[in-house]
Structure 1
């Protein structure tokens, strides 16, 4: 399926590339032939990435984010995950005063933030450099609201995360020929 057709169908579901992004930015992440051979899922992977074209650091689509679950290495990694989840939800300031601490030598890992004037503290389970899925679920649960949930598509070692309502998740699952299940069911 042509890339442009896929983009049109995703726009109908409310998933569009950000205004400063072009098709060339998408093609800097995944080749056109691969995107057209394996429609939608690879495009969603590209949506969740950052453009590798200048200026760097631009997300392709702020409604999709690729999380490498084996990417926890240093202080700031869990705080970044919490910020990315807020951005994905469309409310970057939902969690405030986000801080974390990672000391592998001392076996001390934690994440803290404030939500609705309440301070949350999560002790993170150490599993080498893998993200603590229980803690991730707790943070997602704090962010989810208004019948929107975090959904997951897996692509190789990457978790493609989306923040959608159930109807949109079902329609997107049909396009991807894969059931999208919420990361944290309600």
Structure 2
């Protein structure tokens, strides 16, 4: 399936390239055949990352995030995770005053943020450089609203995350011949 056709089908589901991102940005990292031999597989992965050339720091699609769960090294790493999750919901400032503390060797890790007028505090279970998925699930629960939830498509040690309503998740799963799983079952 042509790359342009795949992009058009995803656009019907609300998954579009960010402003200023082009097919050339996708083709910088992978050749066209990689995208077209396995429709949606490489494309969904690519939508969830940053453009791999200058200018740096440009997300390809704000509606998809390729979350590598082996990413915890120091204080600030959970703050970045929470910011990415908020970005997926379309409300990057939904959670505010996000702070974390990571001391893996000392066994002390935590995450805090405000949700409305409430201060949320989560103790994080240190596990080398792996994210604590229970703590991440708590954050996701705080973010889920309006009939949408976080869905995942497996990507080895990583996961491709989406924030969708159930109907859109089913349609996306049909496109890629794989059921998307809700991160937090309803």
- TM-score higher than 0.5: yes
- The 3-state SS of whatever aligns with 1:129 is coil
Counterpart CA distance in 1 for 2:11 and 2:55 is: 24
Return the TM-score normalized by structure 1: 0.97
Return the TM-score normalized by structure 2: 0.97
Counterpart CA distance in 2 for 1:121 and 1:184 is: 19
Q: How much is the aligned-residue C-alpha RMSD, in angstroms?
A: 0.9
Conserved 8 A contact 1:65-1:162: yes
Counterpart CA distance in 1 for 2:30 and 2:43 is: 8
Q: Does 1:128 align with 2:128?
A: yes
Aligned to 1:138: 138
Conserved 8 A contact 1:151-1:161: yes
Counterpart CA distance in 1 for 2:34 and 2:154 is: 17
Conserved 8 A contact 1:29-1:49: no
Aligned to 1:44: 44
Aligned to 2:176: 176
Q: Does 1:166 align with 2:166?
A: yes
Superposition deviation, residue 108 in structure 1 = 0.6
Conserved 8 A contact 1:71-1:131: yes
Name stretches of at least 5 consecutive residues in structure 2 with no aligned partner. Answer: none
Superposition deviation, residue 125 in structure 1 = 0.7
Counterpart CA distance in 2 for 1:87 and 1:135 is: 18
Superposition deviation, residue 157 in structure 1 = 2.4
Counterpart CA distance in 1 for 2:100 and 2:29 is: 30
Count of matched residue pairs: 186
Aligned to 1:147: 147
Aligned to 2:57: 57
Counterpart CA distance in 2 for 1:30 and 1:182 is: 29
Greater Cα shift, 21-30 or 162-171:
21-30
Superposition deviation, residue 155 in structure 1 = 1.6
Aligned to 1:22: 22
List structure 1 segments (4+ residues) > 6 angstroms apart after TM superposition.
none
Name stretches of at least 5 consecutive residues in structure 1 with no aligned partner. Answer: none
Aligned to 2:11: 11
